[in-house]
Structure 1
Amino acid sequence: MKEQEQQSSHWVHCPICGAKTKTKVNEDTILIRFPLYCPQCKKEFRVDIVQLKMVMSK
């Protein structure tokens, strides 16, 4: 059997309040203009995530 690469996954946090959302990403995940919903703020944000770095979309 082949050994599979172990990819660590990380929870995405709200860019405003810092609360953990229900979205999980891996190190190789690329999200462009992703609609991220925060259950604590009850708001939706458009974010870009590349190599675990998140920025707000314009």
Structure 2
Amino acid sequence: MKKWIFCPLCNGKTRLQIVETTKMKDFPLFCPKCKREMLIEVNHYKVRMISQIK
């Protein structure tokens, strides 16, 4: 089952989908709603923001 990645800052839907086995580390995520870029980690549908990119 696919799930959308939501922005950890504004909770807006991004353009990426993940499955349960998706693993990302230091992935640059851009949010089209709040126009911010951040580094995230993904593991078992859990998205964690590492840092915000200026």
Give the TM-score taking structure 2 as reference length. 0.89
Q: How far is the alpha carbon of 1:23 from its aligned partner?
A: 0.6
| Structure number having the greater strand percentage | 2
- What is the root-mean-square deviation in Å for CA atoms of aligned residues? 0.9
Uncovered stretches (5+) of structure 1, i.e. residues with no partner? 1-7
Count the aligned residue pairs.
51
Give the TM-score taking structure 1 as reference length. 0.83
Uncovered stretches (5+) of structure 2, i.e. residues with no partner? none
Q: How far is the alpha carbon of 1:57 from its aligned partner?
A: 1.6
Q: How far is the alpha carbon of 1:56 from its aligned partner?
A: 1.2
Structure number with higher relative contact order (C-alpha < 8 Å, ≥ 6 residues apart): 2
Q: How does 1:14-53 map to 2 (within 5 A)?
A: 14-53=7-46
Kindly report structure 1 stretches of 4+ aligned residues shifted beyond 3 Å.
none
Q: How far is the alpha carbon of 1:32 from its aligned partner?
A: 0.4
Task: Provide the identity percentage.
Answer: 35
